[in-house]
Structure 1
Amino acid sequence: MTQSAQLFLLLDELQQELHKKQLWQAERPSQSALNSTQPFAVDTLNPEQWLQWIFIPKIRTLIEQNANLPTGFSIAPYFQQAWQGQPDYRSVVMITQKIDEAVKSC
């Protein structure tokens, strides 16, 4: 399995886990909220919104277009911090850690 294929599967796993934890949202945030220039859109989006509406679609698009994936980033620490008081979300954080590892090897 290629590294891009592995990352694509991890994105699917992340989406499924967000659904399972009832973090997946039916309503899209406003365009102005999505246009935030802050890391993780911390000023306009909740952590799960950033995953759903920005991260997952962006990385999927890059993979589908065979574009270069971003390197040198790590998203798991943000989610560990943001959800430190939410033990139910530990499984989501673990998937972000797997994504970080997969990106390092791309």
Structure 2
Amino acid sequence: MNNFNQQFSQLLNDIEQEMQRIGLWQVVPPKPDAFLSEQPFAIDTMHSYQWLQWIFLPRMRAIIDANGDIPRNFSLHPYFEECLKEDMQVIIFLQLIKKLDELVKA
């Protein structure tokens, strides 16, 4: 695994651990219908953190496992910052999301 993929994979793990620490990680997945959304971030069927846990993280890990090309130049931080702006316990979580954005733009 190249250095970029290692850094990306580590950030995914760090995000997951932080989500668990602050109570955003869920044991039970959303209802199957929630995965059928055609909206960005499944905004109409899931909370932001649910989309991250159940769609984004598994897809990115599948790409890494398949030695595929990790997407570049995406920005998750503005969306999560807006969704979680009232929650003061997510500061580290948002910093990790921002680091992920910065990594894929480098």
TM-score category (smaller protein) = over 0.9
Q: TM-score, normalised by structure 1?
A: 0.94
What is the aligned partner in structure 2 of residue 61 from structure 1? 62
Q: Say yes or no: does 1:2 pair with 2:17.
A: no
- Structure 2 residue runs of 5 or longer lacking an equivalent are none
Q: Given residue 66 of structure 1, which amino acid in structure 2 is its aligned partner? A: N
Partner residue, 1:80: 81
Distance 1:6 1:33 in 2: 30
Cα distance in 2 for residues equivalent to 1:86 and 1:57: 25
Contact 2:73-2:101 within 8 A present in 1 as well:
no
Structure 1: state its 5+ residue gaps. Answer: none
Number of corresponding residues: 105
Comparing both chains, which one has the higher relative contact order based on Cα–Cα distances under 8 Å and sequence gaps of 6 or more? 1
Structure 2 CA distance, aligned partners of 1:5 and 1:34? 28
Per-residue CA distance 1:56-100 (angstroms, 9 max, x = gap)? 111111111111111221001000111111111111111100111
User: What is the alpha-carbon root mean square deviation over aligned residues?
Assistant: 1.1
Q: Which runs of 4+ in 1 moved over 3 A?
A: none
Conserved? CA contact 2:19–2:93, under 8 Å: yes
Q: Name 1:19's counterpart in structure 2.
A: 20
Secondary structure, aligned partner of 1:23:
coil
